[in-house]
Each structure stands twice: as structure tokens, then as C-alpha cells.
Amino acid sequence: MKGPLQGVRVLAVEMALAGPYGSMLLADLGADVIKIEPPGMGDRSRLTPGPNHKGDSFYFLAFNRNKKSITLDLGTRSGKEAFYDLVKISDIVWDNSRAGSMERLGADYDTLKEINPAIICCSVSGFGSSGPYSDRPSFDLVAQAISGVMSVTGEPGGPPLRCGPSIADLVGGMFGVHGVLAALYQRTFTGKGQRVEVSLLDGQVSLMAYHMSYYFLGGEVPGPLGSSHLAITPYGAFKTKDGYLVMGIGWPRVARVLGIEHVIDDPRFADHISRLEHREELDAIVQEAFLKEKAEDWLPVLEVEDIPCGPVNTIDKAVEDPQIVHRNMIVETEHSLGGRIRLVGNPIKMPQSIEEDFIAPPTVGQHNDEILFELLGYSKERVKRLRQEEESHAEQLLASQLKRFG
């Protein structure tokens, strides 16, 4: 990929979602991202159950385009040496390991800055490196729960729900990218790198800003509102004859569009505060009106009145939506093992900088030779020794596990 980050090299010690998503954003912006995977199966997300292409799961393919893959066992002397050699010629070390993992591997910022003072290390973890929860394992679901996100997601009176997309992981990756870009900018003045830290929990709390502000100022604990809004009504998803549509701010124009002009002068709905106090009654009236026609009939009329609206697309319809297609948000590329795959595109559009020529996610260790022989200039003997150490270490680990569980 050509882009504004061309010439920036990223070493990604990552797996699953938060790390791979963030490093993919960097790759989409032109960075040379080298994904470091354990020998053998590589990133365990490659084996996620479900649809796959040539053995790599839908989950892995979704977050790993435009990257190179090298297999290194950082638990061996040769593997760690190769990693350190890459650190010397890289700009960013990116990881989404559990807090403390990079220190145990000797891949933490304090160690790596001695090798390359300009290195920027970004860690995306569940709870961060300090605090009472720092040693706990965490997943997207846990961050959504503790932050309060799940408490305001779902229908009133229903059970708490997680957001459909893994929003804690995704936001963690995004905030990590924000931090890395800021560190790169500051490095142009100081010449020095720094440590960037993002936690999934912190990211979710950040997203709860207006819900928490509502509580701070009013003392009332917000709850789930379905597709409605805490401070706007009518707003949300409404059922029509043939499916759902969503509608945003548009009062009182929407009342005229729906043929319910009589409610405009109703004292219950006379002003913004009154409408919020009588949300359920107003929503019921609006809902009854929407049921009289199909979504495809309502949407053009709402658009003419400049009322924000849209259909509630299922995934199969979303990927064919003309606006989504026009914005190149569904892309297709050749896979190195054959066949073509479709992926979600890059939402950042910079036509003067980015040429959207996407490369399929790599196979495990696809770029081993390119990186070891060409980039690092290793000899065949050195690479052979590296691989022999990996095999020996793998056998030792297997024997240890068999002894432990056998």
C-alpha cells in the first residue's frame, strides 16, 4: 500500500482482534507491517471456527490485509536475536498481549529503547499495566460490561447486551493508532520514541462520555433505550409494512410527513422536554403511522424533508448498498493460495496519498525468506540454526505439557 505512512515499519506481536485491527489501519495508511507469529499455526485466530478460505478463518482474514508474516519463537535465543535485529530497523513495536507479557519476553519498551532509542512501543491490553485489575485476563465482553456500555445496550427491561461488533477491541485498536501517530509526530522534534498504552476498559469508558455526564449532572442512572436516544425523540428504529427503518432528528416535519399533524400542538409534545417526558406515548403514535406503508415508500418522502433516515440493512443488503459500494468499502483481492476474497475496505479516504490496492492477508510465515534473507541479510546457516532452536523449544514445551497434564 502507498500512503502517508510509507517508510514506517511496524513489528506487530499480536493475535485475535484489537492488535490486528489497529495494525491493519496502520498498514492501510501505508506502513510496512510485519506480523510476528508463533511457528506452526501462527495467530490462533486463523483457526476460528466458521467459514474460511484455504484454511484461514473469516476472522483472521477480516483484520490482517496488507501485512507481511514472519514466524519467530521469541522464547529462543535466535528468535529473540532476530526480533531485536528487526527492532533496530523499525519504528513501532505494536502488541496486544496481556499486561506483563512483553516484559517476560524481553520485548518491553524499557528493553527495546536500549536497542533503538527512537522506537515507539504501543501496548493494547484489557486493563492497562497498573491498577487493581491489571493482572486479570480480559476480553471485549468484560470491558463492555465493566465500563457500563452493556447497561445501556438493549431494550428497556431486557437483559444487558454486548454491542454486535466487538467494539471494545475495535476501539482499543483505534485509540492505539491515535497514540502511535501522535508519538511519531512528536518524534520528529525529539528524535526519541516513547511508550503508548491503551486499555480496552479505558476506551469503553471514553465512549460513555455523555451517559456519564448525564449521571454526573442529573444524578439519574441511564438505562437501555433500544434504538432510541437519551436526549432526542422521536428517534430510532421503527417498523414498517415490510421491515424497519431508522429516523433521526426531524420534529415537527416528521409529524407532517406521517400525516399526524394533530400531535404537533398536543401539550404532551409541545416542546423538547415534554416530548422526552412522554417518549413512550409519542413513539407509539409515530410507530402506528409508519406501519401504514413500506419502508421503500417512506424513505424517499423523509429524504425530501431532509430528515436523517435509512433502511435497517441485513448484512447481505449492506454489502450491496450503493453508497457503501461507491465508497469502496467492499473490496476484492487475490489470495496468495489462489482464489479471490472480499474484504471490508479502508474508511480513511486520502486520494492524494493512498492508492487502494489491497493485498490479501498473508499465510503463516509467507514472508520468512524475504525478511530474514533480504531485509536482515541472514545467511542460510543462521536461518537453519534459528529454525532448529524453534523445533527444539517446541518439543520441550510439548514434553512439559504432557508431563503436566498426562
What are the residue numbers of the active site? 169
Neighbours of 333 (CB within 10 A): 15
Integer Cα distance of 218 and 279 in angstroms? 18
131: its cell numbers: 491498577
Integer Cα distance of 166 and 177 in angstroms? 17
Terminal Cα distance for the chain, rounded? 48
Integer Cα distance of 113 and 96 in angstroms? 19
Cβ proximity of 385 and 78 under 8 Å: yes
| Beta pairing class for 236-240 and 243-247 | antiparallel
Q: Given the C-alpha cell 498498514, which residue does it identify?
A: 27
Integer Cα distance of 330 and 154 in angstroms? 29
Beta bridge partners of 243: 240
Integer Cα distance of 269 and 278 in angstroms? 7
Contacts of 196 (CB under 8 A, 6+ apart): 120, 121, 122, 123, 176, 179, 180, 182, 183
